[in-house]
Amino acid sequence: MARAVRGADAKPVTAYPAGLLPRRIAADILDRVLHRHVAFDEALHEQATRRDYAALPDRDRALVRVIAATVLRRLGTLRHLLGECLKTGIPADAPRLETVLLVGAAQILWLDVADHASVDLAVRLARADRGGNRYAGLVNAVLRRIAREGKARVAALDAPVLDTPGWLMARWTRNYGAQTARAIAVANAREPALDFTVKEDPSAWAHKLGGRVLPTGSVRAVVHGPISQLPGYSEGAWWVQDAAAALPARLLGNIRGRSVADLCAAPGGKTAQLAAAAAHVTAVDRSPARIERVRENLRRLKLTAELVTTDILEWQAGPFDAVLLDAPCSSTGTIRRHPDIPWLKRESDIAMLADLQRRLIARAAELVGSGGTLIYCTCSLEPEEGEAVVNEFLANRADFQRSRVSDHEIAGLGDCLNAEGDLRTLPCHLPDDDSRMAGLDGFYAARLERR
Query: DSSP of 336-404, one letter per residue?
Result: TT-TTHHHH--THHHHHHHHHHHHHHHHHHHTEEEEEEEEEEES---GGGTHHHHHHHHHH-TTEEE-P
Report yes or no: 191 and 436 within 8 Å, Cβ to Cβ: yes
Inter-helix orientation angle 136-155/97-110, to 10°: 40
ω before 22 within 30° of 0 (cis)?
A: no
Close Cβ partners of 136 (under 8 Å, ≥ 6 residues apart):
123, 126, 127
* Separation CA 279–CA 304 (nearest Å): 10
Options 264, 379, 416, 428, the catalytic residue = 379
Q: What is the 3-state secondary structure (H, E, C) of 376-389?
A: EEECCCCHHHCHHH
Total Cβ atoms within 10 A of residue 393: 21
Whole-angstrom CA distances from 90 to 54, 82, 126, 221, 446 are 32, 9, 13, 40, 47
Q: Helix, strand, or coil here: 135?
A: helix
Is 379 known to be catalytic? Answer: yes
The end-to-end CA distance of the chain, in Å, is 72
CB burial readout 176-197, b (16+ within 10 A) else e = beeebbbbbbbbbbebbbbbbb
Report yes or no: 384 and 354 within 8 Å, Cβ to Cβ: yes
> What values do phi and psi take at 106, rounded to 5?
-60, -40
How much of the chain is helix, strand and coil, in % rounded to 5?
A: 50, 15, 35
Beta bridge partners of 400: 450
Q: Which of 112, 71, 60, 111 is nearest to 226 (CA)?
A: 60
ω before 267 within 30° of 0 (cis)?
A: yes
Q: Helix, strand, or coil here: 227?
A: helix
* Separation CA 105–CA 144 (nearest Å): 9
- Classify residue 398 by burial, with Cβ atoms within 10 Å: 0-12, 13-18, 19+: exposed
Catalytic residues: 379
